[in-house]
Amino acid sequence: MARTKFTKAEISWILYDVGNSALVLLATSVIPIYFNYLAAKDPAVEEVAVGAWGLAETIASLIIALLMPILGSVADMQGMRKKFIIGTVGTGAVATVAMGFPSTWLPFLVIYVISSVMLNASFVFYDALLVDATTDERMDEVSSQGFAWGYVGSCIPFIVCLLIVLNAEKLGLTMQTAMLIAFIITSVWWVAFTIPMLRNVEQKSFKPYEPNAIAKAITGIGNTLKAIWADEALRWFILAYFFYIDGVHTVIKMSTSYGANLGIAGTQLVLALLVTQFVAWPSSIIYGRMGRKFGTKTMILVGVVGYFCITLFAAFFLRTATEFWILAICVGLFQGGIQALSRSEFGKLCPKEHANEYFGFFDIFGKYAAILGTGLVSAFTFLTGNPSLGVLSISLLFVVGFFLMLKVPEHR
């Protein structure tokens, strides 16, 4: 297949994924560990640190879920998408650096929630800007390139930060100073890779300016949901997406915990996480090109089947570090591709002038609603006393998502 030549706007859009992914990777690995380090200083909190962290994540997700359909509607007005990106990235970068200053757990957790909200809010505006950066025909490959370069790009500052934190004592640094340096590196990386998108991607699709836009956006949420439900393609797609992407995020969230439960060393788990990032890089690019050749829907279905097989492997065969590495490689093969093609398919289905408003619901159904899978794992594990059966229950989400996806019309 001929190599695709990307436009300046497409490259600039892709680069934002490189920038934000550094904080995503830090937030899923090092930051929770550092929070436990701060919480351990307070005997009254040490035993409930996991609950406090979970509550903070829940609060951040609820704020996003409540705000994004409203702010997304306002951002659809002429010239507003990039202004919201500037606001969320700027505030998020400052908050990320600020996390390095508290020496106690509570102010750190409050600042983390602000950073998390800004990071995840920026995703909605960024996702919506995809419809302005490229065309429907090129959307699959551009979206896949974003995920691909985000995976490999995030590893560069992450490895640097990890080396600083792990060797803090040898470098003559306290843990707090080492983390502050890590937060500064991550924030600078995020902002630096945001600038090209702000300079080179113009908002081409928009709706006219409306007075009292926020009030109208609040009252219009119900109308947007009705419009999504009335559109056959959007209705079946968003339902299918809810189930299979919930399964994807459950695998991401629970794999490390499940591996630790099996007695696999923490070092092996972190290294396997990096392997997933590197495997996902070329896999996402290949996935995007295959989506263009065989169809987006077909490749999403392939990804759903792939994840179904991954859950079966985890439930029945995963017992050692070697098998966890095999799992990490398999996840990398499908993780970026299924997320990228889901984003581009939704971008093609939704009305361009309301892209932010629609992507607000898309992100709620996806990134912030991954509760069904974790609930299934918990319920089956507690009922049977067998964690493997808990993991196996995730496969139900992929089965439902697969059959719902079959109902999505091939063409508009």
- Cα separation, 29 vs 47, in Å, equals 20
Give the residue, 258 or 272, on which the prediction is more confident.
272
Question: Does 398 map to a domain?
Answer: yes
Question: Does 411 map to a domain?
Answer: no
- Looking at residue 28, which CATH number applies to its domain? 1.20.1250.20
pLDDT given at position 51: 63
Question: Does 360 map to a domain?
Answer: yes
Helix (H, G, I), strand (E, B) or coil at 77: strand
pLDDT given at position 2: 45
Tokens read off for 381: 């594990």
Q: Decide if pLDDT at 144 tops 80.
A: yes
Domain that residue 382 falls in: 10-203+211-406
- Cα separation, 380 vs 391, in Å, equals 8
Question: Does 189 map to a domain?
Answer: yes
Q: What is the arithmetic mean of pLDDT over 258-286?
A: 77
pLDDT given at position 14: 94
Question: Does 2 map to a domain?
Answer: no
Q: Based on the structure, what is the number of domains in the chain?
A: 1
pLDDT in tens, 49-106: 656 776 787 788 778 877 877 777 777 777 788 999 999 999 999 999 999 999 999 9
Average pLDDT over the chain reads: 84
Nearest to 154 by CA among 30, 264, 58: 30
Global pTM value? 0.79
Question: Does 187 map to a domain?
Answer: yes
pLDDT given at position 306: 94
Question: Does 1 map to a domain?
Answer: no
Least reliable range by pLDDT among 94-98, 237-241, 259-263, 402-406: 259-263
Output the CA–CA distances (angstroms, integers) from residue 167 to 38, 155, 160, 173, 376, in the order listed.
18, 18, 11, 8, 39
Question: Does 379 map to a domain?
Answer: yes
pLDDT in tens, 368-410: 555 677 677 777 877 877 777 878 888 899 999 999 999 998 7
Give the residue, 16 or 349, on which the prediction is more confident.
16
Helix (H, G, I), strand (E, B) or coil at 207: strand
